[in-house]
Amino acid sequence: MKLSAQSKAFAVMLSVGLFAGCSSTGETVDEGAYGSDVAAIDQEGGATVYGGGDEGGISSSSMTEEERMAAEQQAQQEALREITTFYFDFDTAEIKPEARDVLVAHALFLASNPGQQVRLEGHGDERGTKEYNLALGERRANAVQRFLIVNGASRGQIETVSYGEEKPAVMGSSESSWAQNRRVELVFE
C-alpha cells in the first residue's frame, strides 16, 4: 500500500504533536515532594497537611489514638448538627428513633456552648383544625425541648413556638406533602 506525501506529512505531524503533548513541562520535582501543599501519606502512615510557607504542618501520625478518636467523634457530631429539621408521624409528638442521635449532638453542642440560643419551631400538616394543629406543633416542640434538656442543654437556651399549619414547608394535599409539614425546626440564634 502506497501512502501519498501528504498522508506521510500528516502522520509525522500527528506523531510530533502527540509526543509534544506527552512531554514534561521541564519542571523538576524533588524526591518526596508532591507538587502541592498536601502530602498523601508520610512514612508512618499518616497524612500531613501543611499550613503555608513555614514548612510546619499537622500530621495525623503524631496524634495519639485517643486524639484521633476524639477528632473523629467531633467531626461526626458536627456533621449531625447540620440536620436541623425533625419529622413526626401523623397526629403524634413522639420523636422518631432515627432523630435521637442527631438531637443528642445538638444537646451536647448546647451544653458546651452556654451562650448559644435555639428556637424550636413546631409545625403540623393541614389536616385538623387550626387550634388543634397549633397545639400539636407546640407538643412537638416541647417534646424536642425535653429531649434536649435531658441530654444536657439548659432550659434557658431554648425557646419554643408553634406555627401549626400556618407555615408549610411544602404546599399540597398529598401524604408526601403532609409528611414534610409535620416537623420541628431548630433555628440557632
- The residue among 16 and 179 whose pLDDT is bigger is 179
pLDDT of residue 43: 43
**Is the per-residue pLDDT at 40 higher than 90?**
no
Is the pTM higher than 0.75?
Answer: no
User: What proportion of the chain, given as a percentage, has pLDDT over 90?
Assistant: 57
Provide the pLDDT for residue 71. Answer: 83
Number of domains into which the chain is organized = 1
Rounded to an integer, what distance in angstroms lies between the CA atom of residue 122 and that of residue 147?
14
Asked if residue 103 is part of any domain, the answer here is: yes
Q: Supply the CATH number for residue 160's domain.
A: 3.30.1330.60
Full domain range(s) for residue 117 = 83-188
Q: Look at residue 117 and give its three-state secondary structure.
A: coil
Lowest mean pLDDT among 34-38, 108-112, 135-139, 156-160: 34-38
CA dist., res. 102 & res. 83, Å (int)? 7
pLDDT band at 135 (very low <50, low <70, confident <90, very high): very high
Q: Is residue 146 part of a domain?
A: yes
| CA separation for the pair 93, 158 (Å, rounded) | 18
Residue 122 lies in a domain: yes
Residue 58 belongs to a domain: no
